Amino acid sequence: MQYALDTNSILYYLRSQKNLSSYFAAIVEGLEFISLSVITKIELFSYPGLELEEDRKIKEFIEDFKINELDDEIVDKTIEIRKKYKLKLPDAVIAATALANNLILITHNKKDFDKVMGLQIIDPLD
């Protein structure tokens, strides 16, 4: 299986959230293919109050993950998702990236992403 990590799931993992599911921990610890939307990368490194040590941890953590850049398919899917589901632009790009690349999205933000038809989601805290 292949996965895309949302910003919140990475922060939960790096901050050692105690109630992370063992399934999510196994995915992150290298048992599966993981990628990120370029938006997730932007959100991570521009997170308010990010300290130097956290910045270093993020760089180290994502260095082996594929970063999915924007392409025409993702842009078109983003537009469709924004129009149909009224998601915020960053969330629409993340959802479109997962759909375009047949990825299961790992996010705790189920409230927004659940409504996107065809998008598979795993909550890292379930």
Secondary structure (DSSP) of 77-114:
HHHHHHHHH---HHHHHHHHHHHHTT-EEE-S-HHHHT
The three-class DSSP label of residue 39 is helix
Count of Cβ atoms closer than 10 Å to residue 124 Cβ: 23
Indicate the pTM of the whole model.
0.91
Q: Whole domain around residue 74: which residue ranges?
A: 2-122
Query: Rounded to whole angstroms, how far apart are CA atoms 79 and 122?
Result: 24
- List the chain residues with pLDDT less than 70: 17-18, 31
Overall domain count for the chain:
1
Query: What is the pLDDT at residue 116?
Result: 98
Query: What is the pLDDT at residue 18?
Result: 66
Query: What is the pLDDT at residue 19?
Result: 74
Q: Which CATH number goes with the domain that contains 42?
A: 3.40.50.1010
What is the Cα Rg of the chain in Å? 14
